[in-house]
Amino acid sequence: MTNSTDNNLQLSIVNSQLSVCVVGVGLIGGSFALALKNKKLASHIIGVCNREETKQKVLQLNLVDEVLPLEEAVKKADLIYVAIPVDATIPIMQQIMDLVNDKQIVVDAGSTKFALCEALENHANRKRFVATHPMWGTEYSGPEAAVQNAFAGRACVICEKEKSDATAVEIVENIYKELGMHLVYMNAHDHDMHAAYVSHISHITSFALANTVLEKEKEEDAIFELAGGGFESTVRLAKSNPAMWAPIFMQNKENVLDVLNEHISQLRKFKSALEKENLEFLNELMEKANKIRKIIK
């Protein structure tokens, strides 16, 4: 059963009276703020940024209406959206959870979920927290990286739905649906495992491939002139911000190592096929890989 205050908050979304605090107005947080503005889902958006130049930039880009210190921003918001590197998320989230009341909603957008959910498991305000991961991103970072319609057509994972207040979850679900996302539900452990398989390994592979080419191909002009679309698309993620991705790899180390070991095993099969000039095995490996077509169009 929902109380009248929760119902009023739900109505406030429809009437665009929702006050939102975005902690970390970069690629994800900035794009989220833009989407809320475009869809008229918030009456007021407050940004929380660490650096002075970032504060000026987010205001200049009109991503938020004002920038405030964390505690002041949280107190003014109905919904607090946290989109910062995962190594900073746990202490900041614990601070936020200590500040919120039983009507506010706290949402995070991090790429790892298990460590955060475990850290907040026994917090008195745990029900006000909704763990999410919008499955979208680019190789760019910072406020300038924020783009329009970023989340449309993408998946958003919601973890441990049953541990959050039902009305809070419904409000967050409605916001993501309004942004054009489809929702997937998982426990935090499964999320981190699947994220390692379909996201985190892609970034490690891209970083490794870029290092391989930079090590072997000493002429930068040759890389620039000869690199085709296939190379560009494969190595694109190597331009991603290490400050964001190193903590993700470390926080999800067990799952990343598991998938990395399998990836190395697959690379050895290709190496073996070439060394032994085994054309049949080489074709077999590629034909097996072609089955991905049935999953990814």
Q: How confident is the model at residue 2 (pLDDT cuts 50, 70, 90)?
A: very low
The predicted model gives 146-159 an average pLDDT of 96
Question: What is d(CA 227, CA 173) in angstroms, rounded to the nearest whole number?
Answer: 42
Reading the block at residue 232, the tokens are: 């560009």
- The sheet carrying 105-108 orders its strands as 66-67, 44-48, 19-23, 79-82, 105-108, 129-134, 155-159, 182-186
What's the pLDDT tens digit per position in 172-188?
999 999 999 999 999 99
What pLDDT is recorded for position 263? 96
Do residues 28 and 144 lie in contact, with contact meaning Cβ atoms separated by under 8 Å? Answer: no
Q: How confident is the model at residue 141 (pLDDT cuts 50, 70, 90)?
A: very high
What's the pLDDT tens digit per position in 189-221?
999 999 999 999 999 999 999 998 888 777 777
Helix, strand, coil percent values for the chain (each to nearest 5): 60, 10, 30
| 13 has a pLDDT exceeding 70 | no
| 79 has a pLDDT exceeding 70 | yes
Q: Which comes out higher in pLDDT, residue 295 or 154?
A: 154
The predicted model gives 55-74 an average pLDDT of 97
What pLDDT is recorded for position 248? 97
* Number of Cβ atoms within 10 Å of the Cβ of 46: 24
Tell me the HSE value of 140 on the side-chain side, using a 13 A CA sphere: 12
What pLDDT is recorded for position 9? 55
The predicted model gives 50-67 an average pLDDT of 95
Q: Hey, which residues does 48 pair with through a beta bridge?
A: 23
| 230 has a pLDDT exceeding 90 | no
Which domains are delineated in the chain? 4-186 (3.40.50.720), 191-294 (1.10.3660.10)
What's the pLDDT tens digit per position in 246-287?
999 999 999 999 999 999 999 999 999 999 999 999 999 999
DSSP strand pairing (155-159 vs 129-134): antiparallel
Amino acid occupying residue 281: F
Give the CA angle between residues 50, 76, 81 to the nearest 5°.
55
What pLDDT is recorded for position 15? 47
What pLDDT is recorded for position 1? 39
Q: What is the pTM of this model?
A: 0.88
